[in-house]
Amino acid sequence: MSARIRRLLGRLPQHARPVIGGTGRCGRLVISELLRRGHQVTTLARTPDALGGARAGLDIIQGTLDKRTTRNMTPRANSSLCTPTELDDVRAAFKADMPAVVIVTLNAHRASDSPFATPISPPRLMADCNANVVAAMKEFGVRKIVILQAFGVGDSWARMHCLLRLLMKTSNMSHQYDDHNDTEREVRASGVDYVFVRPSRLVETKETRVKVWAEDGKGVPMMASTSRTSVARWLVDVAESDEWDNSASVITN
């Protein structure tokens, strides 16, 4: 463990860290990283078995089922759905252990794992879920939220290669970018502290060093990628530190 991380952990209590979206691929890695660092973790899941059941340091809040979100979903997608579409479920996660920081790794559900597959979630799934999280944060006095997004959201759109922009605009990915952009505008205006994390193309490779770019993503190579394990570690890093508060960092490996 680096001296910098030791200083951070010495300064910050090991409070509960709710993870919203904990049943997704990045969310599971974030939970593992938080537990590895000694944090208490709370997450929402309609089916607790989707996370392998509760274990030391992990509280799983079993939420209700929002029919708006699950309409037309496959059984596979439905079985691991978190329920931050329901404000009462988010409140339950906060009541379980008072959080210090909330980490959100939600993504819109699709008909398959392909990023270009047909979306099967409401158009504002991420924006509405994050609005519920922010509402609960204000009720419980929690100041900070860390949100996983994607390179190309917000100011970084103009720095994405023109071919990638064309692909995103003319494919089903456009719905997710619209949802991410709504999330950014509304969270920035909410008054809570935030960190938006925007990795380049996600890949299933080993963790390597993270390179942090400016908020507009200037200089990011067209084919840059980021491993999910690196993303998970960076999300926890920025949750533990105040260095990146109220910013949107583009990251790659």
Q: Decide if 251 contacts 212 (C-beta within 8 A).
A: yes
- CA 38, CA 1: separation in Å to the nearest integer? 13
> Is the predicted pLDDT of residue 97 greater than 90, yes or no?
no
Q: What is the pTM of this model?
A: 0.85
In the structure, what pLDDT confidence band is assigned to residue 5 with cuts at 50, 70 and 90? very low
pLDDT at 14: 54
pLDDT of residue 78: 36
CA distance 1 to 29: 18
Beta strands 58-62 and 211-213 are unpaired
- Tell me the percentage of the chain whose pLDDT exceeds 90: 58
Burial of residue 78 (number of CB atoms within 10 Å: 0-12, 13-18, 19+): middle
- Asked if residue 53 has pLDDT above 50, the reply is yes
Q: Which of 203, 180, 204, 186 is nearest to 123 (CA)?
A: 180
Report CA-CA distances (Å) from 92 to 23, 65, 199, 244: 17, 14, 30, 28
Segment 18-34, tens digit of pLDDT = 888 888 899 999 999 99
**Quick check: 16 pLDDT over 90?**
no
pLDDT tens digits, one per residue of 140-189 = 999 999 999 999 999 999 999 999 999 999 998 999 999 999 999 999 99
Integer Rg of the chain from CA: 17
Q: Domains in the chain, start-ordered, CATH in brackets?
A: 3-252 (3.40.50.720)
When the pLDDT of each residue in the chain is averaged and rounded to a whole number, the result is 85
Strand partners, 206: none
Confidence of residue 68 (pLDDT cuts 50, 70, 90): very low
